[in-house]
Structure formats: structure tokens, C-alpha cells
């Protein structure tokens, strides 16, 4: 993973996994300062799995940055569709901070 090479001092802080299934990532002793998530990922699974992922993120992360690529639809539309509440901290047309209490 290129990130580990560029920031080798922090390599142990980076995790690559299947965010929907990896129990190690979401173990009780892990806490993340930031989770970065494409909202399209929540539309690729059934509603129950998407809700479970959002619950895990709320339990283990302090901040959630969400984004959408051009062609995915608007960020606001994807947020509505996936039940994610944007905090109002829009960082660009396709990037925002999600409200962790309501997401």
C-alpha cells in the first residue's frame, strides 16, 4: 500500500479491509479519528448492511467524511438515499462532513 510507504512512521494506523465484514476493523478496542466513505458504497449493499456499517462508524469513529465522484449523483441526493445527514460542513461540491449523531 503506497500510503504505508509515504507515511511509514504511521503505517500501523492505516487499515485496509472490507468495511462491511471485517470484525477486526470494528473490534471494541479500535477507535478512528476519521473514516472516509464514498456514499455510493452504501447503495451497493442491502439496507440492513448499510445501516450496520453506519452504526459501526458511529461507535468507532469521531469524524466521518463522505464523498461522491462526478457521475454518482449529487452528494445531497446520495445522503438522503442512504440516510446520512450532512453536517453543513461542505468541503467541496462532492465532499462533506457527516453528522455522526444522525448518520
Separation of alpha carbons 86 and 99, rounded Å: 5
The answer to whether the CB of 66 falls within 8 A of the CB of 84 is yes
Note the pLDDT tens digit of each residue in 25-67. Answer: 787 788 888 899 999 999 999 999 999 999 999 998 999 999 9
Q: What is the mean pLDDT of residues 85-102?
A: 84
In this predicted structure, what is the pLDDT of residue 29? 82
Inform me whether the pLDDT recorded for 9 exceeds 80: no
- For 1-5, 12-16, 79-83, which range has the lowest pLDDT when averaged over its residues? 1-5
Distance between CA atoms of residues 14 and 100, nearest Å: 21
Average pLDDT along the chain: 84
Name the grid cell of 87.
453536517
Domain boundaries, the chain: 29-103
Amino acid at each position: 500500500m503506497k500510503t504505508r510507504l509515504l507515511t511509514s512512521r504511521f503505517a500501523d494506523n492505516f487499515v485496509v479491509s472490507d468495511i462491511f465484514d471485517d470484525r477486526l476493523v470494528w473490534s471494541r478496542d479500535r477507535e478512528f479519528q476519521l473514516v472516509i466513505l464514498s456514499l455510493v458504497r452504501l447503495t451497493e449493499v442491502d439496507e440492513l448492511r448499510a445501516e450496520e456499517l453506519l452504526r459501526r462508524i458511529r461507535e468507532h469513529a469521531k469524524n466521518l467524511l463522505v464523498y461522491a465522484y462526478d457521475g454518482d449523483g449529487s452528494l445531497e441526493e446520495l445522503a438522503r438515499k442512504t440516510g446520512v445527514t450532512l453536517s453543513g460542513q461542505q468541503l467541496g461540491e462532492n465532499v462533506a462532513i457527516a453528522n455522526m449523531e444522525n448518520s
